[in-house]
């Protein structure tokens, strides 16, 4: 660690350096010109433990040096000691305001210099150690968070594999819906982390269908009223499967499962929510889910063309769908609202 000494008198620099000569892990670097000292600070700010500056110097005095040094990135908290023969309160106040940490009087005492600098070096090292530990803790937290996120993703994928055993198309459907959800989220200006969470959580939007009988889930024709009511239960059942988790991802998935069949005009299910009372996650997934359902072949219908499906979204924005979500999705496909 460097101790920087600035004094226009080479003899003073030599005496100060001699007082500090045997301090452990300490290398003295002295200057007679403020500009040279500042150039050294700019290059080695992170390696300087203490700076000692005389007050009275031609050209750049000690106060000017302190102000300039404090403006250099990485040097804001390095201890600076001012050496002066003036015992003036106003000067000391001005030096403290400029960024001085401590003072030494001329003529200085070698024992005092050594003790002051040793203490300041220790304090500065403790500050640096704290920064290093904070950085280490930040890395550890990020690593632990990444492990948790990976495990959550793994659990989600396993849950979706279980759903695929009921209906092979379900697995392909949720992958496509997740992609569409990400597209809409990005177009709406959501933060990247939020888009990732929303996309992953959306894969569980139909998890409640594992409770729907095969006779209904895989029926090749249109559903009867009773079968339709049974199918619609999957939204509430999905919520119940996922609710109660401490994971923000699973909480978001529960919200999506419960609300992705709500409609903007309040005619959806299971709770008849309307407009912005429907969580944004549910509104986004509603658009992605319907679009994929329309463009996919089912036992009871042929696949629509992309143009037909996009036109359906356009016509039903403001009734079935949140207009902003539809507009974002159309924008992703280069389709005009006109």
pLDDT digits (tens, 9 = 90+) for 123-152: 999 988 998 999 999 999 989 888 877 877
In a domain, 104, yes or no: yes
31 and 106 fall within a common domain? yes
On whether both 23 and 76 belong to a single domain, the answer is: yes
Instruction: Looking at the structure, tell me whether residues 183 and 326 fall in a common domain.
Output: yes
Q: Is residue 103 domain-shared with residue 192, that is, in the same domain? A: no
In three-state form (DSSP H/G/I as H, E/B as E, the rest C), the secondary structure along 23-63 is: CCCCEEEEECCHHHHHHHHHHHHHHEEEEEEECCCCCCCHH
Name the residue range of residue 232's domain.
Answer: 166-332
The reply to whether 120 and 199 lie within a common domain is: no
pLDDT at 119 over 70: yes
* Final residue of a structural domain among 78, 112, 135: 135
Q: How many domains are there within the chain?
A: 2
pLDDT tens per residue, range 189-247:
999 999 999 999 999 998 888 888 888 887 888 889 999 999 999 999 999 999 988 88
List phi, psi (to 5°) of 283.
-65, -40
Residue 156 forms part of a structural domain: no
Are residues 178 and 276 located together in one domain of the fold? yes
pLDDT of residue 287: 98
Higher-pLDDT residue of 14 and 209 is: 14
- Three-state DSSP state, 318: coil
Q: Assign residue 15 the CATH number of its domain.
A: 3.40.50.2300
126 and 260 both lie in a single domain: no
- The reported pTM is 0.60
The CATH number of residue 242's host domain is 1.10.3210.10
Weakest mean pLDDT among 187-201, 207-221, 274-288, 307-321: 207-221
């Amino acid at each position: 660690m460097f101790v920087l000494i600035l004094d226009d008198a080479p003899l003073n620099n030599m005496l100060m350096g001699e007082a500090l000569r045997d301090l452990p892990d300490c290398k003295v670097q002295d200057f007679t010109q403020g500009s040279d000292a500042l150039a050294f600070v700019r290059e080695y700010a992170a390696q300087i433990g203490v700076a000692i500056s005389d007050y009275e110097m031609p050209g750049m005095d000690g106060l000017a040096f302190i102000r300039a040094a404090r403006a250099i990135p990485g040097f804001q908290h390095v201890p600076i000691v001012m050496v002066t023969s003036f015992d003036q309160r106003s000067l000391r106040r001005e030096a403290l305001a400029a960024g001085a940490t401590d003072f030494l009087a001329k003529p200085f005492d070698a024992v005092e210099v050594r003790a002051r600098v040793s203490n300041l070096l220790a304090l500065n090292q403790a500050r640096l150690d704290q920064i290093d530990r904070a950085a280490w803790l930040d890395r550890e937290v990020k690593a632990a968070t990444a492990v948790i996120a990976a495990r959550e993703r793994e659990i989600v994928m396993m849950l979706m594999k279980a759903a695929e055993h009921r209906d092979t198309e379900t697995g392909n459907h949720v992958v496509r819906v997740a992609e569409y959800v990400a597209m809409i989220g990005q177009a709406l200006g959501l933060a990247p982390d939020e888009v990732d969470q929303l996309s992953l959580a959306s894969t569980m939007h139909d998890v409640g269908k594992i409770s729907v009988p095969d006779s209904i889930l895989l029926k090749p024709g249109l559903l009867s009223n009773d079968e339709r009511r049974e199918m619609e239960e999957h939204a509430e059942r999905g919520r119940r499967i996922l609710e109660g988790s401490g994971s923000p991802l699973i909480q978001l998935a529960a919200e999506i499962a419960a609300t992705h069949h709500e409609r903007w005009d309040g005619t959806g299910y299971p709770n008849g929510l309307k407009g912005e009372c429907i969580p944004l996650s549910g509104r986004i997934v509603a658009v992605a889910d319907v679009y994929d359902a329309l463009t996919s072949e089912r036992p009871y219908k042929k696949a629509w063309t992309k143009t037909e499906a996009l036109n359906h979204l356009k016509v039903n924005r403001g009734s079935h769908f949140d207009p902003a979500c539809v507009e974002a999705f159309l924008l992703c496909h280069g389709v005009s609202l006109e």
